[in-house]
């Protein structure tokens, strides 16, 4: 019984940890690019942003800095699609 409870506890905290990690990524996105956040939110995809966050940070930075080099943005998008 204790072994089963400990397994359930570990599984529950693992799920909570992943949800917390996703929520933190969504909050960062909300402050970085509100328009993109709203697009994801409208499609109920905002909690999946943490999967592509490392690559999207580069793209968002490039666009917001006004340095819209198609090569850099294209390379970052290619990295997302490659995985």
Tens digit of each residue's pLDDT (9 = 90 or more) over 10-48: 888 888 888 899 899 999 999 998 998 999 999 998 888
The model's pTM? 0.73
**Predicted pLDDT at 37:** 92
**Owning domain of residue 44:** 2-82
d(CA 3, CA 49): 35
d(CA 17, CA 3): 21
DSSP conformational letter for 44: T
C-alpha 53: how far from chain center: 4
d(CA 58, CA 60): 6
Closest CA to 53 of 31, 75, 78, 22: 22
| CB contact at 8 A, 25 and 49 | yes
The pLDDT of residue 68 is above 80: no
| Number of independent structural domains in the chain | 1
Residue with tokens 């006004």: 66
């Amino acid at each position: 019984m204790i072994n089963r409870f400990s397994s359930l506890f570990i599984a529950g905290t693992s799920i909570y940890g992943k949800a917390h990690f996703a929520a933190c990524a969504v909050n960062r996105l909300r402050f970085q690019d509100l328009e993109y956040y709203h697009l994801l939110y409208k499609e109920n995809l905002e909690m999946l942003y943490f999967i592509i966050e490392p690559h999207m940070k580069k793209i968002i930075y490039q666009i917001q800095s006004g340095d819209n080099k198609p090569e850099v943005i294209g390379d970052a998008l290619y990295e997302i699609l490659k995985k």
